[in-house]
Structure 1
Amino acid sequence: MRNLDITTLRSFVAVAQSGGVTRASGFLNLTQSAVSMQIKRLEELLGLTLLDRSGRKIALTAAGEQLLAYARRMVTMNDEIFARLTDQDYEGELMLGVPHDIVYPVIPQVLQRFSVEYPRVKVQLLSSYTSNLKEQFRRGEIDVILTTESGLEEGGETLIDVPLRWIGAPGGSAWRQRPLRLAFCRFCLFRPGALGALDAAGLEWEMAVESDNDRTIEATVSADLAITAMLEGHAPPYLEHISTAGTDLPDLGTQRINLYGNSAKPEMVAQLQSMIRQGFGAF
């Protein structure tokens, strides 16, 4: 009788959801070689190829797509059994604040993992601007926050430095217009630096859209009516990076993704911070 191993299924689900072994290893807190070995073991047990490794990005084969639905159910059932039948050390509620533009792709997987390991701890996700999140954090209203900023304040740690890129519609031409048409939220922290870079480069610009809503900015840019600035790797799929090579657009440098945690709930906060750290470490 052959039995599927939950550990290998968990690794397979993590690779499928994150799109690669590197990110999956960060979420699972395992080495890349360990995750690769588990996937290989699963493929050998089933006698099937589950991952298509021929392209630049790992994709699921037809057999892998079929297995994924079963694997998710088995992993979920396994975790539910342990959550229901074993004592849980921690319970309570945490407030996590994250800027809108860096919620994906890391935070949903962190929330999923935390929910599995600490089912009695409720995590409330608040998405807002860095300036708002830092003010609420100072008042003790949020337990853990992520920020996007050029510096670092006392008590925080920098998880990663990410290039700031010009963003436009796929195949768009708005970046060629002069004056350059821009779309930014009023409280976007990237805005002053982007405008300063344009002024330093001697490029004329005009604010085509100014809004309090990120979706409004994204809709305007996707319609090729303006361009904006976002962190590399965090633009939605209906927008794309504009290369500065061969253009007069200035380089925007980098921004830090910082992590701050409140010591009022030390154990739970430390666990959530650890998972966020691992998630961005694999990004």
Structure 2
Amino acid sequence: MIDMLDPRLLRSFVAIVDSGHFTRAAEQLGMTQSTISQQLGRLEEAAGHPLIDRAARPVRPTAMGERLLGHARRILQLDEEARNLLRDPAGTAGVSIGLPEDLATPAMAQRLAGFAAANSRIRLDVVTGLSRDLAARYRQGEFDLVVVKEDRPAPDCRASYPEPLGWFAARDHAVEARDPVPLVTFPPGGLYREPMFRALETAGRRWYVAFTGSSLQSVLAATEAGMGLSLLPRSVVEGRALRRLTGLGEAAPMVVSLYARENAEPIAELVDMTKAVLEQRMSLAPTRTSGSA
């Protein structure tokens, strides 16, 4: 059965109409006149109608040929677009990355954008989330590269960085003078929550949870508003209306760990890029402190 939508047959038909001659159309398409005549004949057989008035000089489409012509041009255009799409490798190789929310910074985004621009074949799929969830998904094979916060790095860690923590309160609210002291924290199981409780108990301070936020931004906002104290990474408070406190008990640094698989070609470059961003971020942790009551 002849397919009348075969682009080869339609291309011959359009070339004959555009040139007005079988010979010229054959030359344009790099074929013999007999071949292009055969292809037109096959198309006309499939259509069940003559499509070219061969008696006219120059030849021209019949009424049925005119009806087909516009559709033939669109089909050929779509055929060319599909061929170009398949020839373009952009976005055909995916790399999945997992990041904690506070590490999806403008600096990280700029580095990832630069990598994507220089490697159009690579499609980056970046997911932010809680470190415990990201770590579990990496172990299940969902990520090629992941950055997580944890108590200690695993043996297959590519790089790890200590993340200094500090007690912070709103600049204009002396919430640290209250007894018991109000706390702003993450939900149970969240980072910094248990270290916060242990540090206060070691310091002999009574406390209660005044605000629980499921994201870093909500915890920062509540702390800025004076709802309570919070134990936070020193690297995330730059530019916030917060002051660092002392005398509430020290918490051991968290560890920011980088994990990546060995079997993906662009991973080495992404690992180096991520290391550079993390090293810069950890070196920018603010150190200004304020005494607590």
Partner-residue secondary structure (3-state), 1:131: helix
Q: Give TM-score, length-normalised by structure 1.
A: 0.62
Matching residue of 1:205: 207
CA positional deviation for 1:128: 0.9
Where do residues 39-118 of structure 1 align in structure 2 (5 Å cutoff)? 91-104=92-105, 106-118=107-119
Q: Give TM-score, length-normalised by structure 2.
A: 0.60
CA positional deviation for 1:105: 5.0
Q: Decide which moves more: 198-207 or 100-109.
A: 100-109
Q: Is this contact kept in 1: 2:170–2:242, CA < 8 A? A: yes
- Which whole-Å CA distance do the structure 1 matches of 2:107 and 2:223 have between them? 24
1:153 aligns with 2:151: no
Kindly provide the CA deviation profile for residues 97-120 of structure 1, in whole angstroms up to 9, marking residues without a partner as x: 111122225422321221232123
Q: Is this contact kept in 2: 1:136–1:142, CA < 8 A? A: yes
Partner-residue secondary structure (3-state), 1:146: strand
Task: Give the aligned residue type for 1:206.
Answer: Y
Partner-residue secondary structure (3-state), 1:243: strand
Q: How many pairs are equivalent? A: 193
Aligned in 2, Cα 1:103/1:172: closer, same or farther, shift over 3 Å? Answer: farther
1:190 aligns with 2:192: yes
Task: Give the aligned residue type for 2:191.
Answer: L
Aligned in 2, Cα 1:221/1:194: closer, same or farther, shift over 3 Å? Answer: same
Q: Is this contact kept in 2: 1:148–1:255, CA < 8 A? A: yes
Q: Name which structure has the greater RCO, CA cutoff 8 Å, separation 6+.
A: 1
Q: Is this contact kept in 2: 1:97–1:144, CA < 8 A? A: yes
Matching residue of 2:232: 230
* Fraction of identical pairs, as percent: 20
Matching residue of 2:256: 257
- Which whole-Å CA distance do the structure 1 matches of 2:280 and 2:216 have between them? 26
- Which whole-Å CA distance do the structure 1 matches of 2:130 and 2:201 have between them? 25
- Which whole-Å CA distance do the structure 1 matches of 2:90 and 2:273 have between them? 18
Matching residue of 1:20: none
- Which whole-Å CA distance do the structure 1 matches of 2:176 and 2:214 have between them? 22
Matching residue of 2:280: 282
Kindly provide the CA deviation profile for residues 144-175 of structure 1, in whole angstroms up to 9, marking residues without a partner as x: 11111220112113332121111222333222
Matching residue of 1:165: 166
Matching residue of 2:120: 119
Aligned in 2, Cα 1:143/1:225: closer, same or farther, shift over 3 Å? Answer: same
Q: Is this contact kept in 1: 2:158–2:260, CA < 8 A? A: no
CA positional deviation for 1:253: 2.7
CA positional deviation for 1:213: 3.4
Kindly provide the CA deviation profile for residues 12-70 of structure 1, in whole angstroms up to 9, marking residues without a partner as x: xxxxxxxxxxxxxxxxxxxxxxxxxxxxxxxxxxxxxxxxxxxxxxxxxxxxxxxxxxx
Misfit runs of 4+, over 4 Å: 87-91
Q: Is this contact kept in 2: 1:104–1:234, CA < 8 A? A: no
Q: Is this contact kept in 2: 1:221–1:239, CA < 8 A? A: no
Alignment gaps of 5+ in structure 1? 1-86
Which structure would you say has the larger Rg? 2
Partner-residue secondary structure (3-state), 2:158: strand
